[in-house]
Structure 1
Amino acid sequence: MSVRILHLLLCAMALLGCTAGARADTYPGKPIRIIVPLAAGGPTDVLARTIAQHLTEKWGQPVVVENRPGANTNIGTAAVAKSPADGYTLLLTVNNLTINPSLYQDIPFDSLKDFAPVSLFATSPLVLVVNPGVPARSVQELIALAKAQPGKLHFGSPGNGSPPHLAGEMFNTLAGVKMAHVPYSTITSAVTDLMGGQIEVMFPGSPIALPQAKAGKLRALATTGAKRTAAAPELPTVAEAGLPNFEVSLWYGLLAPANTPAAIVRKLHAEVARIVALPAVIQQWAVLGAEPVSTTPEEFAAYLKQDIAKWQKVVRDSGAKMD
């Protein structure tokens, strides 16, 4: 290679580096879309709009939330996976990203390879609740009842493949019981039937479960996270109450398409970390049962990998299916 050609190559590489740096330095230069692959109005949507509002205020560019529900979050997730890797289309999603690879034989994206993780930014436990007519006031009493009446207890969920569904399947496997799963089209209809006695057990999110438990319409036995929740510190975790390997938390995370420039990912991460530390955000999200957290992109990537392996085992051990 001649000296002249080498010089031209070095100049070209330097120019590309400067251009990439300039793109990151001037980001964002136009509106940003945050795609939420769930319907509007739920906790995920509320969290997304909080982050969008604060990003808009900080950057002076519109950050809009676009709800694209369908196919158990696969439709909205696939849309982001196929978007340009420029930081202007982002994915704000939940556990389905790590659950769905074990439940679907063919999904139009790879949950690890097609995304650049930005940050895990909130977690929230589920709550193990029973109809007040069920003669069980603890996790151990529920296990004993389920063992004495195999197949007679029914647990509801907002659909096959949802975190409440797989939480119930994990409970079955670890406790050595067989409660029958009853899928519903919405969490509201499932909880309505639980309060009415058509089903006996559920694992809904804390914003839904705890008010009904305090009103006496449900009985809360435990929460499902790794530690007790500040929203109901009197409740033990399921692990504390007798199933030491049981832990299910709803998580909320922000991702960009794969190959998004690292500088843009870092800029997004820094802003998300700032937002979730704001006292007003912490207070607002506490009402939803969501605890703000902050991880580096690398930590979030490792978390996703571990979560996929976790749900693969739950699906394999339980035989859970989408139909």
Structure 2
Amino acid sequence: MGRTLSSALSWVLSLAIALTFATLVPLVAHSETYPSRPIRVIVPYSAGSGADITARQTMAKLSEFLGQNIIIENRPGTSAIVGTDAVAKAAPDGYTLLFGVTQHAINPTLQPKLPYDTLKDFVPVARVTDQPLYMAVNKALPGKNIAEVIEHIKAAPGKYNYASTGLGTSIHLAGAYFAWRAGVQMSHIPYTNASQTLVDLGSNEVQVLFYTYQPLVPQLQAGRIKILGSTGAARSAWAPDIPTMEEAGMPGFVMPAWHGVLAPAKTPPEIVGILEKALARVAQDPDYKKTIEPTGTDIYYAPSKEFGAFIESEIKRFGEILNRAGTKLP
């Protein structure tokens, strides 16, 4: 009987070990072989947009380090919600990722009935860039600096307006926040075509626009606009003569656009780790820096945990900005 009991216990122990090993092997094998096929990265904006350009530059280098093709899929619509939702509902296997932008942290306040949970349905992989917005004004608007421009706008309530590339975008919020902080009455003119926004700024159809640097350069070089300030936390190396909004007399006006990679919730930590480390290599690559900085973008790497905390803080911050500035849809 003792021998029978001993044999039974031995069999149970062997089975338990085998089952444990069987459970662990797929995880180990999964992480060791990932990625074994092309990765799809969804950009929730149209081809040729700033987010699309940055995504393609970043993913080209990531593809090189992972040794696997990365396919960019543009899924624009409803303030980035369409593409974001597609990732939230994708299989959590590391083969569908989101190239998230600032809008990801704005939408929870603007769109209370999102088809996904911004925090619970995604796992942050890494933040990769920081892209300041620049306050550009038509040359006909009097003032050599922001303080003088504000003084002039205050003297003519309702005469001037600020443009954006759509309701609820970070560009819209920057304009609304400026008007609120400056205490000026300005109308908001939303556009659906970014190129037309820039043309109308140059022709004085609109007077103020917060936008990324590189697309503003042609209008600047043509002498049609002035660039007075940056929403970055510090002056950019590629535009050192342009002061920050804080330096220009608006403390706390730090509102850069940002980009980062997110995966569906429940993506295995091993896969998230592989992507996180590969993106760290991308951020440190000198060729990547040479490629991305001329577009007016700064490299800003933050690992998964830090990026997650940052997103939570951004949701809170934009909620406060929206409430204070009274910026609701429309």
Quickly name the TM-score band, shorter chain normalised: over 0.9
TM-score norm. by structure 1 comes to 0.95
CA distance in 2, matches of 1:290, 1:184: 23
Q: 2:224 aligns with which of 217, 227, 241?
A: 217
2:5 is matched with: none
CA distance in 1, matches of 2:52, 2:88: 19
1:34 and 2:36 correspond? no
TM-score norm. by structure 2 comes to 0.93
1:133 is matched with: 140
Task: Kindly indicate whether the alpha-carbon contact (under 8 Å) linking 1:210 and 1:220 is maintained by their aligned counterparts in 2.
Answer: no
CA distance in 2, matches of 1:54, 1:190: 31
Counterpart residue identity of residue 158, structure 2: G
1:77 is matched with: 84
Give CA deviations for 1:15-48 in whole Å, capped at 9, x if unaligned: 3223212101110111110111110112221222
Do the aligned partners of residues 151 and 7 (structure 1) sit closer, same or farther apart at CA in structure 2, a change above 3 Å counting?
farther
Task: Kindly indicate whether the alpha-carbon contact (under 8 Å) linking 2:57 and 2:292 is maintained by their aligned counterparts in 1.
Answer: no
Do the aligned partners of residues 98 and 6 (structure 1) sit closer, same or farther apart at CA in structure 2, a change above 3 Å counting?
farther
Q: 1:90 aligns with which of 97, 104, 107?
A: 97
Structure 1 runs of 4+ off > 4 angstroms? Answer: 2-11
Q: What's the CA shift for 1:210?
A: 3.4
Do the aligned partners of residues 146 and 6 (structure 1) sit closer, same or farther apart at CA in structure 2, a change above 3 Å counting?
farther
CA distance in 2, matches of 1:29, 1:138: 54
Task: Kindly indicate whether the alpha-carbon contact (under 8 Å) linking 1:86 and 1:261 is maintained by their aligned counterparts in 2.
Answer: yes
1:56 is matched with: 63
1:263 and 2:290 correspond? no
Counterpart residue identity of residue 22, structure 1: A
1:303 and 2:290 correspond? no
Q: What's the CA shift for 1:9?
A: 4.9
CA distance in 2, matches of 1:200, 1:54: 38
CA distance in 1, matches of 2:244, 2:219: 19
1:294 and 2:262 correspond? no
1:150 and 2:170 correspond? no
Report SS of the residue matched to 2:71: strand
Task: Kindly indicate whether the alpha-carbon contact (under 8 Å) linking 1:31 and 1:61 is maintained by their aligned counterparts in 2.
Answer: yes
Q: Which runs of 5+ in 1 are unaligned?
A: none
Deviates more, 1:151-160 or 1:38-47: 38-47
Paired residues, what number? 322
CA distance in 1, matches of 2:118, 2:102: 11
Counterpart residue identity of residue 259, structure 1: K
Q: 2:239 aligns with which of 206, 225, 232?
A: 232
1:45 and 2:22 correspond? no
Give CA deviations for 1:117-152 in whole Å, capped at 9, x if unaligned: 111101111110111000122111122122222222
Report SS of the residue matched to 2:35: coil
1:171 and 2:173 correspond? no
Report SS of the residue matched to 2:54: helix
CA distance in 1, matches of 2:218, 2:290: 17
% identical equivalent positions: 38
Task: Kindly indicate whether the alpha-carbon contact (under 8 Å) linking 1:187 and 1:204 is maintained by their aligned counterparts in 2.
Answer: no
2:291 is matched with: 284
CA distance in 1, matches of 2:113, 2:12: 47
Report SS of the residue matched to 1:61: coil
Task: Kindly indicate whether the alpha-carbon contact (under 8 Å) linking 2:66 and 2:278 is maintained by their aligned counterparts in 1.
Answer: no
Deviates more, 1:166-175 or 1:156-165: 166-175
CA distance in 2, matches of 1:6, 1:176: 74
Deviates more, 1:237-246 or 1:101-110: 101-110
1:105 is matched with: 112
Counterpart residue identity of residue 273, structure 1: A
2:4 is matched with: none
CA distance in 1, matches of 2:188, 2:14: 67
Q: Which runs of 5+ in 2 are unaligned?
A: 1-7
Deviates more, 1:231-240 or 1:147-156: 147-156
Q: What's the CA shift for 1:279?
A: 1.3
